[in-house]
Every structure is written in C-alpha cells, then in structure tokens.
C-alpha cells in the first residue's frame, strides 16, 4: 500500500509557488497579512520571511505592507514611509 511521502521541511531558500499572489494579497488589503496567513496556511514567521523575499515591507508609519521601493521615496531623501504617510 502506497503511503504519501512526508511533507518536506520548508526551505527558506526556495521561493513559494504563490509568492506573487501572497504579496498581492498582503499589499492589497489593510488586513492582508492575516488574510494571507489564513488563505495559504502560513504562520506569521513564515509569511514575514516570504514577504522579505518578495521585497514587501511594512511601512513604519501605518503598518501597511508595501513594496520596499515605495519606502525609499522618490529621489530625494528617503523617508522610509509609504505614499499614504508621506506628506505631499
Ligand atoms: Zn504608511
């Protein structure tokens, strides 16, 4: 009788097959982090690692997850905040 093979340990070096979908979810909703955890069955630690791989970081001003490059500002001094927090 065939048994299914045991689950392989998560390798941090391997990109998650749904990484871009996960990143879209996390950056698209204010509670996207929780949504992604639930939808893809991830724990907080795993999801945070995946987001770093996808260059997604939390804005220190509002905790919204955005692409890392958004936190760099637009040419001038990097302010480390997302577009919503940046004074216009
Ligand atoms: Zn922000």
Separation between Cα atoms, residue 45 and residue 16, nearest integer Å: 14
56-74 pLDDT per residue, tens: 999 988 989 999 888 886 6
CA of residue 19 to ligand 1 center, whole Å: 22
- Going by pLDDT thresholds of 50, 70 and 90, the confidence category of residue 86 is confident
Pairing of strands 56-58, 65-67: antiparallel
- Centre of ligand 1 to C-alpha 5, Å, is 44
Cα-based distances in Å from 27 to 5, 30, 37, 64: 34, 8, 13, 7
pTM over 0.95: no
- B/e letters for 29-51, b = 16+ CB within 10 Å, e = fewer, are eeebbeebbeebebeeeebeebb
Predicted confidence (pLDDT) per residue in 6-49, tens digit? 665 555 556 789 999 999 999 999 899 999 999 999 999 999 99
27 CA distance to ligand 1 middle (Å): 12
């Amino acid at each position: 009788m065939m048994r299914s093979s045991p689950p392989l340990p998560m390798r941090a070096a391997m990109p998650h097959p749904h990484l871009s979908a996960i990143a879209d979810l996390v950056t698209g909703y204010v509670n996207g982090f929780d949504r992604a955890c639930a939808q893809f069955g991830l724990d907080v630690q795993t999801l945070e690692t995946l987001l770093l791989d996808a260059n997604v970081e939390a804005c220190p001003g509002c905790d919204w997850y955005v692409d890392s490059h958004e936190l760099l500002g637009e040419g001038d001094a990097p302010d480390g905040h997302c577009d919503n927090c940046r004074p216009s």
